[in-house]
Amino acid sequence: MKKSIYRTIVAVAYMLLFGFVYFFIDPRCYNIFQQPGFVLTSEFFIDHFVQPGGLAVYLSLFIEQFSMFRFWGALFLVVELFFTSWLIVRIVKKISGTSDIVSAVFWLVPVAVSMIAWSDIKFPFAINMQVLLLAGVVNIWMLFSGRHMQRYITLLFSVLLYHMCGPVALYVFLLVNILVYASDHNKNSLLNTAVSAAVSLVYPFIMYKYVLPVSFEHAFYAVIPQQQKFICFGTSPVMVIMLFELPALVLIGLLSQKLVAKRQLICAGLVLLVLAGSVAVFFKKHDDRTERLSFRFAVAAHEHDWSYITKHYREGERYDRHINFYYNMALAQTKQMGDKMFLYPQFMGMEGLFLDDPMAGIECYPTSFLYREIGLITNSLHFAFEAHVSFLESHYVMRMIIDDLIILQDYANALKYLEKYSHEMFSKAFVADRKNFINGVGGTELDAKEVSLIRKNHPKYDFYLKNVQNDMLYMLAANKDNFLSNQYIIASALLNNDLNLFVDLLITGTCKVDPNNMPRAYQEALVLYWATSKNIKEKSYDFKVQPFLKDSFKSFSDILSSSETEKYRLVAQKFPGSYWKYYVFDNPQNKAK
Amino acid sequence: MIMNRILHLVALAIIISSCASVDYTSESNSKPQVFPDYTDIVIPVNIAPLNFKAEAGSKLLSVEVKTRTETLTFKCPDGKMIWKKRQWHKLLKENVGDTLSYTLIISDTSGQAVKYAPFYQVVSPDSIDSYLAYRLIGTGYVLWDQMGIYERNLENFKQKPIVENKDVDNACMNCHSFSSQNPNTLLLHTRKYNGGTTILYNGKLQKYNTKTNISMSAGVYSSWNPNGYLIAMSTNLIYQRFHNNYTKRIYVYDEKSDIVLLNMKTETLTTCPQLSTRDMENFPAWAPDGRTLYYISAQARKDEDIDNFDKNVRYSLLRITYDEQSNSWSSADTLLRADDVDGSITYPKPSPDGRYLAYTIADRGYFTPYNRESQLCLLDLQTMETTIQPNVNSNSSESNHGWSHNGKWLVVGSKHPDNMFTKPYFAHFDGNGHFDKRFLLPQEDPDFYDSFILNYNNSDFITGEVAVSSIQLRNAIKSEPVQIKADPSVDIDGLSGATAKK
């Protein structure tokens, strides 16, 4: 095969991969909850060098910061894969002396893996871990170059590997040493294997016994340090497979050398087939496009791209609380909540409207974001602080805190956080911009009109932030034109099946609703109220309902009162996206009953 | 030879340039604004260097320090006065009981160099305890991730963790205490993960479960008896509410609370009906006599109180005596009623000589880090005269104070000046009911506090490094707790929120 064709195949494959990552994966999704690396605090060395795998975490965090930007994030991911592939090819060539066409197959293996793995949010972390394993690759390469390592290098390398990639990587290295010895039966290889085995057994124990932050599980079998669990959300299948990808390739290379040295092309095809096949099976099980969609929505909401959310909300393969949350927010922002809210199943009721309760670290940032939009700025700051606990110095969270403090006119603390944030990468423009705002210098990104609107929306008097319904009432008391509060409080009444409150909100004028042109869900709720309430409030008749809805409701009632066994299926067919369906079937309180 | 001369000349040039005074265009009769505010204070002879800078907007150009015997001049090209540690400690030792007089030249906002009136620092012979223990935590109120209990050497800038929660599965940890500032004793609560109370007593480190059938919860706020084996603890059902008012932010309160006594010799928990009433007893504090226990108490909360912002939930100061021989308690005696001081009394801390009691007064409740109006007061236990101490207070909240073992220094947690982050301040006590002006925990870089976004919680003096290592603490916290026994002679139903069963 001509060298130029071989290179063209590889170049085209990686260009396609870049396009795929840029357009379909969107690296910003990886970044939305990530933290910056290179935080040079006094605990830096303990956190990142003493912890097994701490270096991997550190470098991974650093590299992932580039995912703040779509282009640079995609470029970094592809370059990392390219680098990995290059070293894999070098190894495979050393092991089995394959031709270019075989090498091309190995060039494509990481491409295949990444294409399959695109739905996994831990993917970049896994790639970064793999890049760190390249040090191991170089080591193996040295072995196969005929320059056998000295034992002390094996010893040092094992220790380094432990700190770079964690205990699992140490055992992977041991496995590689065993394979090498099995391949060459060299005395030197045997001694290297013995050294590697000794380090694998003894060193984690020493770390656990005498070095502080290492717990038993970190020392012996954690792939990553436990305190990074928020970053990786548990042990990623992507990460695990990538950790074992290299020794698997080495093993296959060794086998090909021994068994099918003359049939390299068949061997290479077999490698690709087995590896890609096993990876495909593995990821089919862990494929979670719904989770990815929720992260995409987080990015879209951050950029106020509400049309993206309202356009793609059906693409999730299952119900998701975060998709539900962002969908509701997008509808409210585009003043469509009353018309389209129930097109997405509101299975969580109020918990899909607000993420306050139950509260976890990952929910705090979106909740803070929602309260900012609504204008309940003290609660936004509260949740930003809570998010800060879990996502220490995340760009998004730090920016939320700083802007909330600015809106609250606490400039002294805003400057303090700006000072802290200014030490992070990519923060300079933001810091300069917000300092300009504080100093009253024009031309800042922070819209002065928007800030003054939020300040106007925020109630000046004190109350306990008890529950969201209560909070929204206070918001409306502060500014009746707050269209988000208007929609959210009515939505909360509907989601709680509280028709009396819903009607009260209309007839008392608490919420601004046009009585002659109400949204669809409001009209449906009113029909339901008239049909079910024993004490109908006269003023409710001031609000007009389209005549056909009354007929529709009769059909709906007929289904409910019929002897039909599949009432839900029938209602879902005839009244999809209706409030009635939610009221009777989807409401989580009814389900609990 | 020539090389030596050159080196000498270079050294001389450096000395001359560093000591040269800076020209100024005007003089001011006012004292300079520096951060941290180290002007006109009394400092302990063994304190770490007090490095400072000019307040934001101006730049420190030079500092002249006059003592009884010498005058030192420093140019500050980076706008900071940073002492060399050895020089600082030598200076303090040579000037014990004397005054250091500082004259500063500062470039103001308009760029003019102004020479300000001198300020002083009096070097007190009263040394401060060499370590300060505290928890460092972010500004989250509900969630937590990384936190730790740390000890800081006050004679230099070294801080090291006593234990960090990342070593113990991210457990929440705080409410640490020591017996008479003795680092050979330690009590530390952990909760959620690896929950329990880890106690270092008599050289033995052990985790305990202090929740018994006579207590409504495990121990919370604790105080060691000077005898080193009796520990008074509150048991609390704690809740929190969030304010829309940004200046108040959060309100932490108890539904119920009681006080119990843990005897480490017998590993037994006891109490009495006087400390387990339907009222809310809290924050026990032993007097140095080892018999008198001070504590605070408020009337049981009514349902409507919380919606009324707990304006009526105000704590009074009480005391009770305990006789260990007979395991008996006196009747409770109210020392200072909330109505008498028109506020809620909290954090009672008797001075080591037993003459005074420092406490905090606030509008409501007992947990005052978010009460901007809270003020530190001093009660003379002989005359029963109580005074608000202006030199240790600010317009921010003051809370969680503690005495040094010699009773000459007080550490106060204050959110001054940012109203956001609690920081430790130290104040000298003259032994006659008067505190000198307080000063902030010194840091090597005066810019430190500009970007430090953690709180110093529950700062407490200790006389040396904690006697156990972090690894020992980790192992103890991760071990199974030993169950504390309930005193069989006590007939209290702790589960119902206290009060005798009968």
Task: Write out chain A residues lying below 8 Å of B453, CB-based.
Answer: 416-417, 420
Residue A467 has pLDDT above 60, yes or no: yes
* Separation between Cα atoms, residue B75 and residue A186, nearest integer Å: 68
pLDDT score at A3:
72
Q: HEC profile for B392-437?
A: HCCCCCEEEEEECCCCCEEEEEECCCCCCCCEEEEEEECCCCCECC
**Average pLDDT of the residues in B89-100:** 96
Residue A239 has pLDDT above 80, yes or no: no
pLDDT score at A278:
66
Among A507-521, B111-125, B294-308, B324-338, which stretch is predicted with the lowest mean pLDDT? B294-308
**Average pLDDT of the residues in B292-309:** 88
From A227, A382, A419, residue closest to B451, measured CB to CB: A419
Residue B149 has pLDDT above 80, yes or no: yes
Among A36-50, A65-79, A209-223, A351-365, which stretch is predicted with the lowest mean pLDDT? A36-50
Helices (H) and strands (E) in chain B, counts: 4, 37
Q: Give the pLDDT confidence of A86-123 residue by residue, as tens digits.
A: 776 776 666 556 566 666 666 766 666 666 555 555 56
Which tokens sit at A166?
A: 């964690």
Among A132-141, A363-372, A418-427, B354-363, which stretch is predicted with the lowest mean pLDDT? A132-141
pLDDT score at A120:
59
Task: Write out chain B residues lying below 8 Å of A213, CB-based.
Answer: 164, 166-167
Task: Write out chain B residues lying below 8 Å of A217, CB-based.
Answer: none
pLDDT score at A226:
42
Question: How many CB contacts within 8 angstroms connect chain A with chain B?
Answer: 112
Instruction: Tell me the average pLDDT of chain A.
Output: 80
Among A204-218, A443-457, A485-499, A568-582, which stretch is predicted with the lowest mean pLDDT? A204-218
Q: A386 and chain B: CB distance < 8 Å anywhere? A: yes
Task: Write out chain A residues lying below 8 Å of B138, CB-based.
Answer: 385, 388-389, 392
pLDDT score at A557:
93
Closest CA to A129 of A196, A53, A74: A53
Q: Identify the H or E element spanning B220.
A: strand B219-224
From A212, A410, A461, residue closest to B470, measured CB to CB: A212
Q: Identify the H or E element spanning B219.
A: strand B219-224
What residue of A is the nearest CA neighbor of B419?
A413
Q: A419 and chain B: CB distance < 8 Å anywhere? A: yes
Q: A381 and chain B: CB distance < 8 Å anywhere? A: yes
**Rounded to an integer, what is the distance from CA A94 to the centroid of its chain?**
39
pLDDT score at A507:
94
Residue A237 has pLDDT above 60, yes or no: no
Closest CA to A162 of A75, A224, A114, A252: A224
Residue A560 has pLDDT above 60, yes or no: yes
pLDDT score at A579:
96
Q: How far are the Cα atoms of A37, A463, A523, B373, B460 from residue B369, in angstroms, in the given order?
A: 32, 19, 49, 10, 16
Higher model confidence: residue B174 or residue B337?
B337
Residue A143 has pLDDT above 80, yes or no: no
Q: How far are the Cα atoms of A87, A275, A494, B50, B378 from residue B84, in angstroms, in the given order?
A: 51, 63, 68, 10, 37
Please report which confidence band the pLDDT of residue B501 belongs to, taking 50, 70 and 90 as the band edges: very low
* Contact (Cβ atoms closer than 8 angstroms) between residue B364 and residue B344: yes
CB within 8 Å: B242 and A389:
no
Please report which confidence band the pLDDT of residue B100 belongs to, taking 50, 70 and 90 as the band edges: very high
Burial (0-12, 13-18, 19+ Cβ within 10 Å), A336 = middle
CB within 8 Å: B451 and A462:
no
Q: Give the pLDDT confidence of B365-374 residue by residue, as tens digits.
A: 999 999 999 9
CB within 8 Å: A465 and B138:
no
Higher model confidence: residue B86 or residue A469?
B86
What residue of A is the nearest CA neighbor of B161?
A43
Q: A420 and chain B: CB distance < 8 Å anywhere? A: yes
CB within 8 Å: B141 and A463:
no
**Average pLDDT of the residues in A304-324:** 93
CB within 8 Å: A382 and B249:
yes
**Average pLDDT of the residues in B467-478:** 90
Higher model confidence: residue B481 or residue A464?
B481
* Separation between Cα atoms, residue B340 and residue A256, nearest integer Å: 91
Please report which confidence band the pLDDT of residue A362 belongs to, taking 50, 70 and 90 as the band edges: confident
From A361, A464, A465, residue closest to B143, measured CB to CB: A361
pLDDT score at A423:
84
Residues 6+ apart with CB under 8 A from A198: none
Residue A231 has pLDDT above 80, yes or no: no
Q: B138 and chain A: CB distance < 8 Å anywhere? A: yes
Name the β-bridge partners of B64. B73, B103
Residue A455 has pLDDT above 70, yes or no: yes
Q: How far are the Cα atoms of A59, B274, B280, B297, B496 from residue B259, in angstroms, in the given order?
A: 50, 9, 9, 10, 14
What residue of B is the nearest CA neighbor of A474?
B244
pLDDT score at A227:
40
* Separation between Cα atoms, residue A37 and residue B28, nearest integer Å: 47
Chain B interface test: which of A464, A472, A485 (most B C-beta within 10 Å): A464
**Average pLDDT of the residues in B113-124:** 97
Please report which confidence band the pLDDT of residue B252 belongs to, taking 50, 70 and 90 as the band edges: very high
Residue B17 has pLDDT above 50, yes or no: no
Residue B79 has pLDDT above 90, yes or no: yes
Please report which confidence band the pLDDT of residue A256 belongs to, taking 50, 70 and 90 as the band edges: low
pLDDT score at A511:
92
A216-235 b/e (C-beta count within 10 Å ≥ 16 → b): eebbbebbbbbbbebbbeee
Before B348, cis peptide (omega within 30)?
no
Q: A389 and chain B: CB distance < 8 Å anywhere? A: yes
Closest chain A C-alpha to B169 CA, distance in angstroms: 8
Residues 6+ apart with CB under 8 A from A534: none
From A379, A389, A417, residue closest to B143, measured CB to CB: A389
Closest chain A C-alpha to B445 CA, distance in angstroms: 13
Please report which confidence band the pLDDT of residue B168 belongs to, taking 50, 70 and 90 as the band edges: confident
Residue B260 has pLDDT above 90, yes or no: yes
Which tokens sit at B464?
A: 């040396």
Chain A interface test: which of B156, B244, B419, B447 (most A C-beta within 10 Å): B244
Residue A6 has pLDDT above 80, yes or no: no
pLDDT score at A488:
96
Chain B 145-164, CB below 8 Å of chain A: which residues?
A: 145-146, 159, 161, 164
Name the β-bridge partners of B234. B259
From B170, B246, B451, residue closest to A408, measured CB to CB: B246
Among A330-344, A458-472, A535-549, which stretch is predicted with the lowest mean pLDDT? A458-472
pLDDT score at A229:
42
Residue B139, Ramachandran bin (φ over 0: left; ψ between -120 and 50: alpha; else beta): alpha
Q: Give the pLDDT confidence of B444-465 residue by residue, as tens digits.
A: 999 999 999 999 999 999 999 9
* Contact (Cβ atoms closer than 8 angstroms) between residue B456 and residue B423: yes
CB within 8 Å: A213 and B139:
no
* Contact (Cβ atoms closer than 8 angstroms) between residue B114 and residue B106: yes
CB within 8 Å: B417 and A364:
no
From B141, B166, B418, residue closest to A412, measured CB to CB: B418
Burial (0-12, 13-18, 19+ Cβ within 10 Å), A508 = exposed
Q: A304 and chain B: CB distance < 8 Å anywhere? A: no
pLDDT score at B263:
96
Among A267-276, A494-503, B407-416, B446-455, which stretch is predicted with the lowest mean pLDDT? A267-276
Residue B502 has pLDDT above 60, yes or no: no
Q: Give the pLDDT confidence of A394-403 residue by residue, as tens digits.
A: 788 899 999 9
CB within 8 Å: A378 and B244:
yes
Residue A61 has pLDDT above 80, yes or no: no
CB within 8 Å: B244 and A474:
yes
Q: How far are the Cα atoms of A61, A364, A407, A432, B417 from residue A401, in angstroms, in the given order?
A: 21, 12, 10, 16, 19
Instruction: Tell me the average pLDDT of chain B.
Output: 91
ipTM of the complex: 0.90
What residue of B is the nearest CA neighbor of A382?
B140
* Contact (Cβ atoms closer than 8 angstroms) between residue B195 and residue B184: no
Task: Write out chain B residues lying below 8 Å of A215, CB-based.
Answer: 167, 169, 474, 478
Before B446, cis peptide (omega within 30)?
no
Residue B433, Ramachandran bin (φ over 0: left; ψ between -120 and 50: alpha; else beta): left
Q: B420 and chain A: CB distance < 8 Å anywhere? A: yes
Chain B 304-343, CB below 8 Å of chain A: which residues?
A: 306-307, 309
Higher model confidence: residue A131 or residue A340?
A340
* Contact (Cβ atoms closer than 8 angstroms) between residue A442 and residue B478: no
**Average pLDDT of the residues in A53-81:** 79
Higher model confidence: residue A353 or residue A239?
A353
